[in-house]
Amino acid sequence: MTSTGEIRFSHASPEATRGTAPVPNSNLPTVSASRLRVAETFVSRQGEGKLTGQQSFFVRTSGCNLRCWFCDTPYASWKPEGPHQTVAAIADEIAAAGVQHVVLTGGEPMLPESVGELCQILSDRGHHITIETAGTIDRDWPCDLMSISPKLAASSPEPREHPRWASLHQERRMPIPVMRNLISRARDVQVKFVVDSPDEFDEILAVVDELSKPDPNSPTQSLLASDDIWIMPQGITEAALDQAATWLRPWSDQQGFRYCDRMQIRWYGNKRGT
Ligand SMILES: C[S@@+](CC[C@H](N)C(=O)[O-])C[C@H]1O[C@@H](n2cnc3c(N)ncnc32)[C@H](O)[C@@H]1O
Ligand SMILES: Nc1nc2[nH]cc(C(=O)O)c2c(=O)[nH]1
Ligand code: SF4
Ligand SMILES: [Mg+2]
């Protein structure tokens, strides 16, 4: 990534065997000297989606190829912070924490190639890996749950204030073929839409339609089932989540989608490191 957050695309090395998920083994040697900018690491409970409640080690990479106006972690996107650490050191920190589930998030964790190396090490050690991504970069990395949060048009930064980022955001935010590749390779997947207004309903349905179309290799099967789709309110306070639920949950139920609360906000408030 360049210093302005623009990305140069390059492809990761071929994926190696994906491990099952026994107890993590901290005795295995680590091999990677590659570096990764990390905004924060912490142990918390997964607050969103199908693994809600699961104790997890979070690695929040710093740097993003989008700039959503509502981003709740601007210290990993708008103003990326944090030291560059080696992949080996991060893997060792995770092993020392003794937590099996690892959530790789950001920022955009699929941006740095070194995250692929981290995935490989974690997979070899038997960790369960969730990747929280906006789904704009095609990577074939070991991952147990691919958690894609496609960015809708209204998530754009304000164009007069941020003309360049507004245009990059629009260009990058919804590469349907990339998302379909991520979905078709995934062991398990959830697609989480952040919704700020009912005006976004039609756009969500159109994207779900595009993402669900059967793969040509198995033409009778949708790529996504309706219970892979999660509808999550935009909001960083309990009051905002409660208010949004009044109009969002009924629509989500009516469509046969799953409603996604943001339990970390209820458990801890909108605090860093939670
Ligand atoms: C900070 S993002 C990092 C991962 C990746 N860049 C992405 O957007 O999916 C982690 C999750 O928080 C969600 N998110 C960010 N800001 C939010 C907000 N204000 N309200 C609700 N969800 C938000 C994202 O959509 C994503 O599901
Ligand atoms: N507790 C907790 N659960 C989360 N699930 C996804 C998160 C993220 O920022 O990607 C997140 C987070 O930041 N905290
Ligand atoms: S894609 Fe994710 S990390 Fe990047 S600005 Fe949007 S919400 Fe924040
Ligand atoms: Mg978060």
Domain ranges of the chain: 35-268
Reply yes or no on whether the pLDDT at 196 is more than 60.
Answer: yes
User: In a mutational test of the pocket of ligand 1, which residue from 7, 69, 71 has the highest number of ligand atoms less than 8 Å from its CB?
Assistant: 71
Fold entry, domain 35-268: TIM Barrel (3.20.20)
Average pLDDT over residues 22-44: 74
**Which stretches does DSSP call E strand in 4-54?**
35-45
**Planar angle of CA 196, 197, 198, nearest 5 degrees:** 140
> Model confidence over 238-264: pLDDT tens digits?
999 999 999 999 999 999 999 999 999
Collapsing DSSP states into helix, strand and coil, what is residue 161? coil
Cβ atoms 222, 213 nearer than 8 A: yes
ipTM of the complex: 0.99
pLDDT given at position 216 = 86
> Model confidence over 66-99: pLDDT tens digits?
999 999 999 999 999 999 999 999 999 999 999 9
How many angstroms separate the CA atoms of 21 and 41, rounded?
Answer: 21
Q: pTM for the full model? A: 0.91
pLDDT given at position 31 = 55
User: In a mutational test of the pocket of ligand 3, which residue from 7, 40, 61, 64 has the highest number of ligand atoms less than 8 Å from its CB?
Assistant: 64
Buried b (16+ CB within 10 A) or exposed e, 100-128: bbbbbbbbbbbbbebbbbbbbbbbbbebb
How many angstroms separate the CA atoms of 166 and 169, rounded?
Answer: 5
How many angstroms separate the CA atoms of 8 and 1, rounded?
Answer: 6
Please state, rounded to an integer, the average pLDDT across all residues of the chain.
91
pLDDT given at position 238 = 98
Cβ–ligand 1 contact at 32 (below 6 Å):
no
Reply yes or no on whether the pLDDT at 1 is more than 50.
Answer: no
How many angstroms separate the CA atoms of 83 and 40, rounded?
Answer: 9
Which atom of ligand 2 is found nearest the CA of 73? 9
47 is in an annotated binding site: yes
Name which residue leads in pLDDT, 216 or 185: 185
Crossing angle (nearest 10°) for helices 201-212 and 176-185: 60
How many angstroms separate the CA atoms of 135 and 106, rounded?
Answer: 12
Residue located via tokens 């995934």: 186
Please give the single-letter amino acid code of residue 46.
Q
pLDDT band at 28 (very low <50, low <70, confident <90, very high): low
Reply yes or no on whether the pLDDT at 26 is more than 90.
Answer: no
Specify the DSSP class assigned to residue 107: S
For 40-44, 53-57, 218-222, 226-230, which range has the lowest pLDDT when averaged over its residues?
218-222
